[in-house]
Structure 1
């Protein structure tokens, strides 16, 4: 079954976690916008927690990684606890794995959420995607035009309690054209600066100017270039301007995964990298020692756990360590400036 993102998201957000049925079965969400996938996870999380579903994450580094997914789906603790299994990556399961998924899907107590990049018409017709369509749910999380982006942003504005007048909305859409993340960051900033106020153009202009110096995209470009001093400067700026650590992690994790795929022999032209960024990713892949880059996924997982409150580590220091590693800089204690 196929489902548009907005109706499903609103349904999940409006549900009472305690009285809702547990979320079970196989879901696939495909989108090139990291925020969309994160919003679905955030909407599911209260229901998972209400039904004591343990959240587990699995990164697909190859088709063989699906073995770990099958192991989790086949397992239940002595107390019968189910899990919410978040799977990230574009590696499709092989025939044996598809057979196992088809066997498990009808009766599973787990919730499997597979996050992939945008799937084109050809990809949507593959056996793996068809299995999720037939036995589970496929969520189209793609933004096809500015009208859809505006709909998503207005929905999020309602949820975070920020109101813009018509002129301010028009200005925000023009200033952040085609960029969902930047627009969402500005909405969060407005909600903090002007709580319970209707935002006009003057208020919005102040916010846009204050936040215009650096963005997570600047951090990504600088990390790919291996410019350690500037990368640390941008990270510090993002911290001081209250940029959510989860947003920074999304950008760094995306870069890390693409670099790892290039190091594994993938053709950058087939990895949905913008043509003008291919050389940057290729150079970063050549610059980073394989042993170092293999530690990135573990670091990303640790940061994600810290953001979710699983441990009390310093998330900004962990992000700083990841930035240094992605830049290809040997880490020294005097470089760790985050408190």
Structure 2
């Protein structure tokens, strides 16, 4: 069974499974999901907790010793298995597959909670992960995309009996983008500063710090989605944080080259899906963004963008005059709707 984090509490209220797998790219959500499962287990009498952390030299037999034996005091327990790198190796993969195959549908005396980082597409295809998905309850805890962040903030405010207008939610989202832990802390601060009820934009402006964490990955998606305003904001933030200009250019140029190669493959009669696979575009959101970019941009515009990227590279190397960050912005705007 696959669950989103916001549906986890409801499922736990109905019944406890024997096997839970929590993974994702957002540490705050992964931590909260684990806490929710452990709390529900304690409420059902699973008072003991045993933590196992895999690493170099880890004895995977310890997992079966922990899950296959009762406590000396006869208490029910949670076996908290953590795989920090998400790569258990052959021995670990075999052990996890076997563990999934022997896990009952409902919790008896032992609940096994497996925590992983973000699971990439290759890991999702492994036999051990497929077995965990088939037998266990899998909770994927990824950060909400930027367009869903105001709704996520609204849900968090509602949980603390507060609400805000769309303009205020957008203000918070702009100031905590890419940093959910900071967002969580800022919302907790609002609960301490103001009573339950509606918050005004002025109240939020006074309380919320600018704690956004800008990343080139966000810039990549903004470029593909054609969001000119967000590209400008992200580039300003990346420059302010001291991000290396070559990394920013590599990110922009890499997406332009991907679009160019896919367009070339289309021109040769290849299906878009095959071309995306060849370019290793597997993530659903990125696939959708690339598809929209292909529909928006003509091959001539993409070729011009490649030439522009080459000129920025010469500026970085000191071989041509110009401001790198200004040119990166111009390159981004070139690929956005209604851009020159």
Counterpart CA distance in 2 for 1:30 and 1:97 is: 18
For residue 70 of structure 2, what is the aligned residue in structure 1?
76
Q: CA deviation at 1:199?
A: 1.4
Structure 1: distance between partners of 2:142 and 2:156: 16
Task: Name which of 88, 98, 102 aligns with 1:92.
Answer: 88
Query: CA shift at 1:65, angstroms?
Result: 4.5
List per-residue Cα deviations over 1:154-212 (Å, max 9, x = no partner): 32222233322222111001111232122111100000010224211211112124xx5
**In 2: Cα distance, 1:127 partner to 1:56 partner:** 26
- State the 1:103 CA deviation: 4.9
> 1:98-247, aligned counterparts within 5 Å?
98=96, 100-106=98-104, 109=108, 110-143=110-143, 145-209=145-209
Q: Is the 8 A contact 2:20 2:137 kept in 1?
A: yes
Indicate yes or no: 2:31 matched with 1:34. no
Rg: which structure is higher? 2
> Within the alignment, does 1:60 sit opposite 2:54 as a pair?
yes
Take 1:47 and 1:170, find their aligned partners in 2: how far apart are those partners?
34
Aligned residue in 2 for 1:247: none
Distance (Å, rounded) in 2 between the aligned partners of 1:10 and 1:173: 27
Residue deviations 1:117-165 (CA, integer Å, cap 9, x gap): 1112211011221110121122221135123433333322222333222
Question: Aligned Cα RMSD in Å?
Answer: 2.8
Change (3 A) 1:71 1:183: same
CA contact (8 A) 1:9 1:43 kept: yes
Match of 1:286 in 2: none
Specify every segment of 5 or more residues in structure 1 that has no aligned partner in the other structure, as ranges.
218-274, 277-339
For the 8 Å contact 2:165–2:200, the answer to whether it is kept is yes
Judging changes above 3 Å, is the alpha-carbon distance between structure 1 residues 65 and 164 closer, same or farther for their aligned structure 2 residues? Answer: farther
Q: Does structure 1 retain, via aligned residues, the 8 Å contact 2:3–2:139?
A: yes
The separation in 2 between residues aligned to 1:91 and 1:65, in whole angstroms, is 15
User: Alpha carbons of 1:198 and 1:98: their partners in 2 closer, same or farther (altered >3 Å)?
Assistant: closer
Q: Relative to structure 1, is the Cα distance of residues 8 and 51 closer, same or farther in structure 2, using a 3 angstrom cutoff?
A: closer
Figure out how many residues of one structure are paired with residues of the other and give that number. 208
Q: TM-score w.r.t. structure 1 length?
A: 0.54
Check conservation: 2:17, 2:111, Cα contact below 8 A: yes
Structure 2: gaps (5+ residues): 214-246, 249-340
8 Å Cα contact 1:62-1:91 kept in structure 2: no
CA shift digits 1:223-276 (9 cap, x unpaired): xxxxxxxxxxxxxxxxxxxxxxxxxxxxxxxxxxxxxxxxxxxxxxxxxxxx89
